[in-house]
Amino acid sequence: MSFTVAPPAPDSTPVDTDTAACCAPASREAIGAADAEKLARSLKAVADPARLRLVSLVAAHADEEACVCDLTEPLGLSQPTVSHHLKVLVDAGILTRDKRGTWAYYRLVPGALDSLAGLLAGL
Amino acid sequence: MSFTVAPPAPDSTPVDTDTAACCAPASREAIGAADAEKLARSLKAVADPARLRLVSLVAAHADEEACVCDLTEPLGLSQPTVSHHLKVLVDAGILTRDKRGTWAYYRLVPGALDSLAGLLAGL
DNA sequence: CCCATAAATTGACATCCATCGATGCGTTGG
DNA sequence: CCAACGCATCGATGGATGTCAATTTATGGG
């Protein structure tokens, strides 16, 4: 969604050519620093055992939505910790939060994981 | 910490969760704790701007291999830092190292990124 | 031999991060 | 109106992590 793989910078930076020292030159453009940082931020959100299990637990639920009370016990973590991880996943655009009454229901953002996986495979 | 998170049982189908309290029950099994930790370790290796750019730079090279001397300057990081990141990527099975003479050439492990992406998308 | 180069290792340091207990806020039910 | 419940936030803390300067190791050339 927000990741533009194409480099927005037309290159005021002279991409060298002078060295040609030990290796072959680049055949295509690599990822830009800004895109790398953005992609890394998204990957960091998923690169945690607890958060991976949270995503999996939410995806495994029958109607693909789950409340915190259902996620705390199978993880073996305290309720504040689970809330923290869920907030990270929501901020990263992986999950959505929907508070109905006393409970907060989380569900997967459709295509979010696939988008991440696609960007990773297309490096 | 009243109980250990990782059961000694093999990883395939460890838990049968009793039915939940407030929400719908799980329709399929979620990822196990051991698998989550292993996947998280691989994802952590890639969840860093510098390492993402390293992977991209290596992949972008003409013969898909690059030495440290070619990677230090475009990253804007010191040589020890680049060496450190490359070691992380090699340890994670993303890159391979091949020292020829004075130079060390790094290249992508075929299918490593796709495998990671597949595991991520299949959560 | 000795020096120059390439890369890895070490040690130190600052920052980030996962985790918890305690607390606050909003909702539900009696 | 008040107690109970679900969840978020706060503050603290121990451990992991990214970064660099200095040093070490290994290779090659004069």
Residue pair B71/B82 in contact (Cβ under 8 Å)? The answer is yes
| Residue linked to tokens 């290159």 | A11
* Whole-angstrom distance, CA of residue B52 vs CA of residue A40: 7
Instruction: Provide the β-strand partners of residue A86.
Output: none
Quick check: A21 pLDDT over 50?
no
Q: Which of A28, A65, A123 sits opposite B113 (nearest CB)?
A: A123
The whole-number Å distance from A101's CA to D4's C1' is 15
* Whole-angstrom distance, CA of residue B123 vs CA of residue B117: 10
Computed over every residue of chain A, the mean pLDDT equals 83
Q: Which 81-100 residues of chain B approach strand C with CB closer than 7 Å?
A: 82-84, 86-87, 97, 99
Which of B3, B46, B52, B100 best tests the A interface by mutation, with the highest count of A CBs <10 A?
A: B52
Q: Which of A37, A59, A69 sits opposite B22 (nearest CB)?
A: A69
Report the range of poorest mean pLDDT among A11-20, B21-30, B69-78, B110-119.
Answer: A11-20
B31/A69 Cβ within 8 A: no
Question: What percentage of chain A's residues is helix, strand, coil (to nearest 5)?
Answer: 45, 15, 40
Give pLDDT tens digits for A39-94. Answer: 999 999 999 999 999 999 999 987 878 999 999 999 999 999 999 999 999 999 99
Walk me through the domains of chain A, giving residue ranges and CATH numbers: 33-121 (1.10.10.10)
Quick check: A16 pLDDT over 90?
no
Give pLDDT tens digits for B6-59. Answer: 333 333 333 333 333 455 566 788 999 999 999 999 999 999 999 999 999 999
